[in-house]
Every structure is written in C-alpha cells, then in structure tokens.
C-alpha cells in the first residue's frame, strides 16, 4: 500500500507537535462501501473495523494485512474495548451492543430499553467504572442499506448509559436528534457527543455538543455547542491525553482544543467517518474514510491507551 506525507492545514502552532510536518500517512485497506467503527486491539496489534453497508467486520494487522472477521456482521458500526480488553460492537442488524468472544461468537450485552428494542446503536465508549455509554440514532432502521427498515420502538434517539454491574440502562441525554460519535475528556468530567441529523434531515444538526458528567458519573448536565462542523459531519471522534478532540469531518480529521478552538486538519481524499489512536507506541491515528482504512503518525496518544 502506498505511503505518503500528511496533507495538513495548520491553524495554530500547537498543531505542529500533534501532527508534525512530513508525518507518514498510509493507505492500509480499501474497497469498503462505508468504512466505520475502528478499534485498536493492543494484544494483536490489530485494528478491527466495520464496513457497515457491506455487512462485514474487518481485521487489519501490519503482518497479515486486511481480512474479514465477520460476514455477515449484523451491520456492525462502532467498536471499542471494555475494561477487560474485549471488543464491544454496536450492531444495527440485531439492534444491540454486543461483545466479540474468543471463539468467534457474539454475545448480546444490551438490546432493549424498558422492554422496547433499541433503534440501532451506532457508537460507544466505556467509562473507567466499566459503564458502557452509547448512542442510538435511527440509521439502521431508516432503510435496508445499514440494517433492516423498521419503526422505532422508542420514539426518539437517545444517549444511553448501561451499568454492567446492575444491568440498568438509563437515558443520559434526550437533547439530540441523531446522536452519533462520543468520547470522554481525559478526566471524564466532560462527554462530547456529535449530532449528525443533517445527514438525513433538511436543516438538521451537524455539531458536537459537550456535556458535564455529573451524578457520580451516571448522568449529564449543561449541554452546550462545542463546535459546528464544516464541511460534513462529526461522525466518530476521540480525545487525546491532553484533552484535544480529534473528529472526523467531510475533508478528513479536525483537531480542536478543549475550548473548541480548531488547531488544524488532516486532509484525506475521502469523507472520514471515525478514528482511533493505536499502534505499539499509541501514536498512530487509524482513520476510517468511506472506502478505506488509513493511518497517520501523530505526536500524542489517545486517552484510552493503557498498553503504552
Ligand atoms: Mg457513527
């Protein structure tokens, strides 16, 4: 696969350290219809990622390249690691959060709220207390391209918190039209959640909201606009150890500080959907972008890089 130097836009000198000039960009895999949901698996030095619209989950390593992990993959979208290092997936097909098991099976973690089926969980993050926070927009039930068309049983799109100790699923935000990517600040005092409803609803939202995490890390308060995305949408996003937000956008990856000041951009030739920090030293950003999986050398680690 070709390697090249990063194509950047620098708005603030702080970006020079985050994404140095000449940083290596690699085109790792191609041929997807809608690449999404990357997670770095440190035990395997691998990236697990989704091609949502092909209903496949991929597994990439430097040694073995890209292969299919699941096909069909229940229209998997976002992935993350739990506190035990196992891969969790949002699946549109079975409208659930699932766990990938060592024997290749997939186990339901949660698929209902007060007896009603979820819409189509999209992306998720695990807090330091082990709780799973996830978004539930309608993209897997609007038509058959990313799941199966169906009526919403919830009558809305929420951000949820699932307490794995008690089994309780609670709504932590009903302020968003189509909540999508999400990530905590390094100290988990704030949660960032993107709203991508403009992708399907004329005049809809294309912004990231920031919330205060309150109530013993069980709730959210004080929603405010963190950034209005342009061009495109903030689909998936991650936070680095210094609190900068790295978000997908129509032209690649935008990097903003914790006050929402844009520091710079990594330009890619495809619309980016999501990203994750990984690599042996934690300083490699893997990006899913339309048909491809890319990586970019960066100068900082993500918040969830316990292997380094
Ligand atoms: Mg998403």
Distance 150 CA to ligand 1 centre (A): 19
Distance 177 CA to ligand 1 centre (A): 14
- Per the DSSP assignment, residues forming a β-bridge with 145 are none
Distance 44 CA to ligand 1 centre (A): 24
Tell me: pLDDT of 35 over 60: yes
DSSP H stretches of helix in 102-191: none
What pLDDT is recorded for position 178? Answer: 98
Distance 25 CA to ligand 1 centre (A): 23
Asked whether the beta carbons of 34 and 273 are under 8 A apart, the reply is: yes
What pLDDT is recorded for position 266? Answer: 98
- Mean pLDDT score, 25-43: 96
Distance 36 CA to ligand 1 centre (A): 7
Distance 238 CA to ligand 1 centre (A): 12
Distance 80 CA to ligand 1 centre (A): 12
Distance 143 CA to ligand 1 centre (A): 16
Distance 78 CA to ligand 1 centre (A): 6
- Binning pLDDT at 50, 70 and 90, where does residue 69 land? very high
Tell me: pLDDT of 2 over 60: no
Distance 179 CA to ligand 1 centre (A): 9
What pLDDT is recorded for position 282? Answer: 94
Distance 180 CA to ligand 1 centre (A): 5
- Mean pLDDT score, 27-55: 97
Distance 90 CA to ligand 1 centre (A): 10
Distance 217 CA to ligand 1 centre (A): 23
9 contact partners, CB below 8 Å, separation of at least 6: 264, 265, 267
3-state secondary structure 77-90: EEEEECCCCCEEEE
What pLDDT is recorded for position 304? Answer: 73
Distance 297 CA to ligand 1 centre (A): 23
Distance 135 CA to ligand 1 centre (A): 9
DSSP calls for the chain: --EEE-EEEESSTTHHHHS-TT-EEEEEE---SSEEEEEEEGGGTEEEEEEGGGTEEEEEETTTEEEEEESS-TTEEEEEE-TTS-EEEEETTTTEEEEE-TTS-EEEEE-EETTEEPS----EEE-TTS-EEEE--STTTSSSSSS-----SSSS--EEEE-TTT--EEEEE---SSEEEEEE-TTSSEEEEEE-GGGTSTT---EEEEEEEETTTTEEEEEEEEEE--SS---SEEEBTTS-EEEEETTEEEEE-TTS-EEEEEE-SS---EEEEESTTS-EEEEEETTEEEEEE-SS-BS--TT-
Tell me: pLDDT of 195 over 80: yes
SS3 162: strand
What is the tens place of the pLDDT at every residue in 226-267? 999 999 999 999 999 999 999 999 999 999 999 999 999 999
- Mean pLDDT score, 183-194: 97
Query: Bigger pLDDT: 101 or 3?
Result: 101
Label the pairing between strands 262-267 and 274-278: unpaired
Asked whether the beta carbons of 8 and 21 are under 8 A apart, the reply is: yes
Question: What are the angstrom distances between the C-alpha of 120 and each of 45, 139, 297, 308?
Answer: 29, 7, 33, 33
Distance 123 CA to ligand 1 centre (A): 6
pLDDT cut 90: percent of the chain above it: 96
Phi, psi (deg, nearest 5) at residue 213: -90, 120
What pLDDT is recorded for position 308? Answer: 57
Distance 295 CA to ligand 1 centre (A): 18
Distance 274 CA to ligand 1 centre (A): 7
Distance 65 CA to ligand 1 centre (A): 24
Asked whether the beta carbons of 172 and 219 are under 8 A apart, the reply is: yes
> What top-level class would CATH report for the domain 3-297?
mainly beta
* Cβ neighbourhood burial of 84 (10 Å; 0-12, 13-18, 19+): exposed
Distance 45 CA to ligand 1 centre (A): 23
């Amino acid at each position: 696969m070709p390697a090249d130097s990063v194509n950047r836009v620098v708005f603030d000198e702080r970006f020079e350290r985050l994404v140095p000039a000449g940083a290596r960009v690699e085109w790792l895999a191609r041929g997807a219809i809608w690449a999404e949901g990357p997670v770095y698996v440190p035990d395997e030095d691998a990236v697990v990622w989704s091609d949502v619209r092909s209903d496949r989950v991929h597994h990439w390593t430097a040694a073995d390249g890209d292969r299919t992990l699941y096909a069909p993959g229940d229209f998997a979208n976002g992935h993350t690691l739990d506190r035990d290092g196992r891969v969790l997936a949002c699946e549109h097909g079975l409208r659930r959060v699932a766990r990938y098991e060592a024997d290749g099976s997939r186990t339901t973690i949660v698929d209902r709220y007060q007896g009603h089926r979820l819409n189509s969980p999209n992306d998720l993050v695990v807090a330091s207390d082990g709780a799973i926070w996830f978004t539930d927009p309608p993209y897997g039930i609007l038509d058959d391209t990313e799941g199966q068309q169906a009526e919403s049983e919830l009558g809305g799109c929420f951000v949820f918190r699932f307490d794995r100790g008690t089994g309780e699923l609670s709504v932590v935000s009903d302020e968003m039209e189509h909540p999508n990517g999400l990530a905590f600040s390094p100290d988990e005092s704030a949660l960032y959640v993107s709203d991508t409803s403009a992708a399907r609803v004329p005049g809809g939202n294309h912004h990231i909201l920031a919330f205060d995490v309150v109530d013993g890390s069980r709730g959210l308060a004080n929603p405010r606009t963190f950034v209005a995305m342009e061009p495109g949408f903030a689909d998936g996003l991650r936070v680095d150890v210094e609190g900068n937000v790295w978000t997908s956008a129509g032209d690649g990856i935008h990097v903003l500080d914790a006050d929402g000041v844009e520091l710079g951009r990594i330009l890619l030739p495809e619309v980016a959907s999501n990203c994750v920090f990984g690599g042996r030293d934690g300083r490699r950003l893997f990006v899913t972008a339309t048909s491809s999986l890319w990586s970019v050398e960066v100068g900082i680690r993500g918040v969830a890089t316990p292997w380094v």
